[in-house]
Chain A
Amino acid sequence: MTEPLQRKEVVAARAIKVTFGAVKALDGADLVIHSGECVGLVGHNGAGKSTIVNVINGGLSPHEGTLTYGGSAVHGISAARASGVRCVFQELSLCPNLTVNENARIMHAELKGWNWRSRAGELVRGQLQKIFPGHAIDCDSTVDDLSIAERQMVEIAISFAGLNQRPKLVILDEPTSSLDAGLAAQLMTYIRTFIGEGGSVLLISHILGEILSTSDRIVVMKDGRVVADRAAKAFNTHSLVEAMGNVVREQEFSRKVTERTGAPVLSMPPHPRHGIAFQAYRGEMIGLAGLGGHGQTDALLDLYLEHNSNWWPSRKREIAFVAGDRSLNGTFPLWSILKNLSIASLGQLSSRKMVSDSREATLGSGWKQRIEIRTPDMQNRILSLSGGNQQKVLFARALATTASTVLMDDPMRGVDIGTKQEVYEILRSEAANGRTFIWYSTEMDEIRLCDRVYVFREGAIVAELVGDEISEKNVLAASFSEGEAA
């Protein structure tokens, strides 16, 4: 790479391919980490960062390609741990019901024998003191009783600690997402010390400032591949954002400039500390963009619950919701396609509290034609459909209601491109008829279909893009903060 000296490889993943069904999560990605270097890994959602981390830590075996630890090809979580690979995951992965010491015992199998409790305490306390000098964490307290930042600090300390053998490679996946600026700076300083002592770090972060200042080398991933792999000095914020994004495709959208008539259909005050307010007008298609998990789904749920009480659903509903996670909160797996479609509009379909079969069947056949649900019989089980067609049924469920506003929580995950185009058409025509769509999507192509886009970061709306401002570059620039976490 950039070093003329041939350094020792800690982990080498070459030409890795991983597929989940039809989705190519990794499509021939290469990632080699040498001892004594900090590699920054950046990329947009779905670029394959988490997948390659899971391959390196042994949790996922690649379908193709080679993976070696220090030259030897072994597999599995224990093999990766034995090779000195440790991982701090994005979602906190401590046991919340155990104390800090007990968590250290779980992470460090070598802490056995008499009096492990106090030795674990010493280990974690010492490491915490090294990374975050002046912290106030009591190692005998239960993880449940710690704040989110403290939990993250504990997890980082446990991963860097080593009883007999120091870790060779520590993977940090968004380690500063819940640390404040001061703690994040302490961590970055420690990473440099650790590198100086010969360890390696793979740093994943959406805060480009951290990546640029701390890494020796930056790897940019896109669509399951490594698209750039250069020394950190060769990048600046601007060129890094550009490397992550697509080359702007020339595509014509019939994006209309909505005349904002009357009062907004939906509105939400800005986040208490920062950000801007949310407003939606009739007939608009509004995109919620930004990196995944930065408060978009919560915003949708807030909008929904504001109009539909949690306790007592109103008779006439103004808002319909299209769930993103089909199997978790979308389909009723034991029901027929028709029942799955009509569940939201049973009120309209019934007279004197009895559902009219004929009206239900009419509704079903109407939508079957309009949205092209590919099935011989609407009475078939919903699971007989492909994922894309199941998703169409969920769209039809929302659109068949009288609701004037439809909230969509990244509904196109795992849907093939053909189905997407069909659904986009229908959404467009429905919007033209005066329906309002609020659409959270992690896919840039979908965000570009919207009339107006709100970009989320850390639970708040940080930017509003209208019309031609909606471009991948602008969305990326807004979702990656340049400096420290707000």
Chain B
Amino acid sequence: MKLSSGTIRLIIPAASLALLLAAVFYMQPRAMSYTGLNLLFNLAVPIALATIAQMLIMSVNDLDLSMGTFVSFCACVAATVLQTSPLLGVLIFIGAIAAYAGIGVLIHVRELPSIVVTLGMSFVWGGLAVLLLPSPGGTAPSWARAIMTAKPPVVPMAIVASILIAAVTHYIVIRSSFGVLMRGTGGNDRSVERAGWSVIGIRAATYALAGLFAILAGIALVGLTTSADANIALRYTLLSIAGVILGGGEFVGGKVSPIGAVIGALTLTLAGSFLSFMRISPDWQIGAQGAILIVVLALRLALNRLEKREKHQ
């Protein structure tokens, strides 16, 4: 049976995750347990949600550099307003989603580079977060805490949540009509427009959906850490982009894979633990994480080239 290019795209991320997991289990057999797995992948849940948000933006050929500050902002809202007066908190989140849709419209209508607009927005979100929570603090809403620390039978919560996120977003992005239009806009927006669709509407909806997933990331993060801080998720911007790319997505052309993005987020989280188990000092960890990324991407390039050569024959 001939494999489709989408399946081939998923093989490398899945294989690298399996390899890393095997290495971790080999070095630390005790990680091979319910608690061990939960601890390894706990922090992957908010990263996976943020990666999905970034992937949505990337599926329409844009890039969101405000992801980290926006998730921080959402975490601050969740730890303060959402906790004390839930209605106001929900309203703030609805406003944030509307702001995201607005950014999408602005980028499309004025033909602005998304990098510039979102970089500017990152300061706005960062400022709002500091206004809300000048010093680390706040309390997680009890329901968020309950969800994140739930102990389902057999499989730990982190794994259940990851599978759930992957399944839901796979349905939205790959199976649903909206997902087709969204990826079509990334692939060839002129032809979508010629077919009579409103590309502005599609962009706005995509951005709004990305905003929703980023909010979920913020809430999940607070549920894990119990309190928030204005700078809590700054590194999510680059982590989310790396996760999408690691999971087989591409910067342009609407080629994204939600399952791959979740796997990418898991791989990135696991890479951190793996390096700790290797007793590599934290000073070197970021560099080593980069090295892992380069190796995986090099593998993918090699595979792409192989595929292309086969096609030419």
Question: Could you mark each residue 153-195 of chain B with 1 if its beta carbon is under 8 Å from any beta carbon of chain A, else 0?
Answer: 0000000000000000000000101001101101110111111
Q: Please, which residues of chain A bring their CB within 8 A of the CB of B190? A: 93
Q: Please, which residues of chain A bring their CB within 8 A of the CB of B5? A: 142, 144-145
Q: Please, which residues of chain A bring their CB within 8 A of the CB of B311? A: 145
Of A95-103, A216-224, A387-395, A431-439, the one contacting chain B is A95-103
Q: Which of A98, A102, A141 has the most CB of B within 10 A?
A: A98
Task: Give the contacts of A14-68 with B (CB-CB under 8 A).
Answer: 57, 59
Nearest B residue to A107 via CB reads B195
User: Is the Cβ of A59 less than 8 Å from the Cβ of B194?
Assistant: yes
User: Is the Cβ of B253 less than 8 Å from the Cβ of A81?
Assistant: no
Given contacts A57-B194, A77-B196, A105-B180, contact A145 B4 (CB under 8 A): yes
Q: Please, which residues of chain B bring their CB within 8 A of the CB of A187? A: none
* A94 at the B interface (CB under 8 A): yes
Q: Please, which residues of chain A bring their CB within 8 A of the CB of B177? A: 105, 112, 116
* B300 at the A interface (CB under 8 A): no
Given contacts A105-B180, A142-B4, contact A98 B196 (CB under 8 A): no
Inter-chain CA distance A141–B5, complex, in Å, is 9
User: Is the Cβ of A77 less than 8 Å from the Cβ of B180?
Assistant: no
Inter-chain CA distance A103–B188, complex, in Å, is 11
Q: Please, which residues of chain A bring their CB within 8 A of the CB of B180? A: 98, 102, 105-106
Shortest B199–chain A CB gap in Å is 11
User: Is the Cβ of B196 less than 8 Å from the Cβ of A109?
Assistant: yes
Q: Please, which residues of chain B bring their CB within 8 A of the CB of A116? A: 177
Shortest A141–chain B CB gap in Å is 6
Q: Please, which residues of chain B bring their CB within 8 A of the CB of A105? A: 177, 180
Shortest A330–chain B CB gap in Å is 21
Nearest B residue to A158 via CB reads B195
Shortest B273–chain A CB gap in Å is 34
Given contacts A102-B180, A109-B195, A109-B196, contact A97 B254 (CB under 8 A): yes
Question: Could you mark each residue 66-103 of chain A with 1 if its beta carbon is under 8 Å from any beta carbon of chain B, else 0?
Answer: 00000000000110010000010100011111100011
Given contacts A59-B194, A77-B196, contact A106 B184 (CB under 8 A): yes
User: Is the Cβ of B197 less than 8 Å from the Cβ of A95?
Assistant: no
Inter-chain CA distance A105–B180, complex, in Å, is 8
**Which of B175, B187, B188, B193 is A77 in contact with, Cβ under 8 Å?**
B193
Task: Give the contacts of A239-278 with B (CB-CB under 8 A).
Answer: none
Nearest B residue to A91 via CB reads B190
Q: Please, which residues of chain A bring their CB within 8 A of the CB of B184? A: 95, 97-98, 102-103, 106
Shortest A299–chain B CB gap in Å is 22
User: Is the Cβ of A106 less than 8 Å from the Cβ of B186?
Assistant: no
Q: Please, which residues of chain A bring their CB within 8 A of the CB of B136? A: none
Q: Please, which residues of chain B bring their CB within 8 A of the CB of A87? A: 194
Inter-chain CA distance A363–B183, complex, in Å, is 51
Inter-chain CA distance A116–B181, complex, in Å, is 13
Nearest A residue to B198 via CB reads A78
Task: Give the contacts of B110-148 with A (CB-CB under 8 A).
Answer: none
User: Is the Cβ of B4 less than 8 Å from the Cβ of A106?
Assistant: no
Inter-chain CA distance A106–B191, complex, in Å, is 9
Inter-chain CA distance A106–B198, complex, in Å, is 11
Task: Give the contacts of A128-160 with B (CB-CB under 8 A).
Answer: 140-142, 144-145
User: Is the Cβ of B194 less than 8 Å from the Cβ of A77?
Assistant: yes
User: Is the Cβ of A109 less than 8 Å from the Cβ of B197?
Assistant: yes
User: Is the Cβ of A81 less than 8 Å from the Cβ of B196?
Assistant: yes
User: Is the Cβ of A93 less than 8 Å from the Cβ of B196?
Assistant: no
Shortest B88–chain A CB gap in Å is 37
**Which of A81, A94, A145 is B191 in contact with, Cβ under 8 Å?**
A94
Q: Please, which residues of chain B bring their CB within 8 A of the CB of A77? A: 193-194, 196
Inter-chain CA distance A16–B167, complex, in Å, is 53
Inter-chain CA distance A434–B214, complex, in Å, is 66
Question: Could you mark each residue 219-256 of chain B with 1 if its beta carbon is under 8 Å from any beta carbon of chain A, else 0?
Answer: 00000000000000000000000000000000001110
Inter-chain CA distance A19–B49, complex, in Å, is 50
Shortest B176–chain A CB gap in Å is 10
Q: Please, which residues of chain A bring their CB within 8 A of the CB of B186? A: 97
Shortest B3–chain A CB gap in Å is 10
Nearest B residue to A111 via CB reads B177
Inter-chain CA distance A228–B196, complex, in Å, is 33
User: Is the Cβ of B253 less than 8 Å from the Cβ of A96?
Assistant: yes
* B29 at the A interface (CB under 8 A): no
Inter-chain CA distance A452–B196, complex, in Å, is 47
* B6 at the A interface (CB under 8 A): yes
Inter-chain CA distance A87–B187, complex, in Å, is 19
Question: Could you mark each residue 17-30 of chain B with 1 if its beta carbon is under 8 Å from any beta carbon of chain A, else 0?
Answer: 00000000000000
User: Is the Cβ of A96 less than 8 Å from the Cβ of B194?
Assistant: no
Q: Please, which residues of chain B bring their CB within 8 A of the CB of A59? A: 194
Q: Which of B175, B177, B311 has the most CB of A within 10 A?
A: B177
**Which of A97, A140, A145 is B253 in contact with, Cβ under 8 Å?**
A97
Q: Please, which residues of chain B bring their CB within 8 A of the CB of A140? A: 4
Shortest A117–chain B CB gap in Å is 8
Q: Please, which residues of chain A bring their CB within 8 A of the CB of B192? A: 95, 106
Inter-chain CA distance A107–B5, complex, in Å, is 23
Shortest B63–chain A CB gap in Å is 17
Q: Please, which residues of chain A bring their CB within 8 A of the CB of B4? A: 140-142, 145
Shortest B58–chain A CB gap in Å is 12
Q: Please, which residues of chain A bring their CB within 8 A of the CB of B183? A: 95, 97-98, 102
Inter-chain CA distance A142–B183, complex, in Å, is 12
Q: Please, which residues of chain A bring their CB within 8 A of the CB of B193? A: 77
User: Is the Cβ of A97 less than 8 Å from the Cβ of B255?
Assistant: yes
Inter-chain CA distance A93–B253, complex, in Å, is 13
Q: Which of A107, A116, A140 has the most CB of B within 10 A?
A: A107
Q: Please, which residues of chain A bring their CB within 8 A of the CB of B195? A: 81, 106-107, 109
User: Is the Cβ of B187 less than 8 Å from the Cβ of A96?
Assistant: yes
Q: Please, which residues of chain B bring their CB within 8 A of the CB of A93? A: 188, 190-191, 194
Question: Could you mark each residue 272-313 of chain B with 1 if its beta carbon is under 8 Å from any beta carbon of chain A, else 0?
Answer: 000000000000000000000000000000000000000100
Nearest B residue to A96 via CB reads B187
Given contacts A97-B183, A102-B184, A106-B184, contact A142 B194 (CB under 8 A): no
Question: Could you mark each residue 71-106 of chain B with 1 if its beta carbon is under 8 Å from any beta carbon of chain A, else 0?
Answer: 000000000000000000000000000000000000
Question: Could you mark each residue 196-213 of chain B with 1 if its beta carbon is under 8 Å from any beta carbon of chain A, else 0?
Answer: 110000000000000000
Inter-chain CA distance A89–B193, complex, in Å, is 13
Inter-chain CA distance A96–B184, complex, in Å, is 8
Inter-chain CA distance A57–B191, complex, in Å, is 13
User: Is the Cβ of A78 less than 8 Å from the Cβ of B196?
Assistant: yes
A-B contact pairs, 8 of them (CB 8 A): A77-B194, A93-B191, A95-B184, A95-B188, A98-B180, A98-B254, A107-B195, A142-B5
Chain B residues near A (Cβ < 8 Å): 4-6, 175, 177, 180-181, 183-184, 186-188, 190-197, 253-255, 311
Known: A87-B194, A95-B191, A96-B187. 17 other contacts (CB 8 A): A77-B194, A93-B191, A93-B194, A94-B188, A94-B191, A95-B183, A95-B187, A95-B192, A97-B187, A102-B180, A103-B184, A106-B180, A106-B195, A107-B195, A112-B177, A117-B175, A145-B5
Complex A-B, nearest 8 residue pairs according to Cβ-Cβ distance, in ascending order: A95-B187, A97-B187, A93-B191, A95-B184, A78-B196, A97-B254, A95-B188, A102-B180
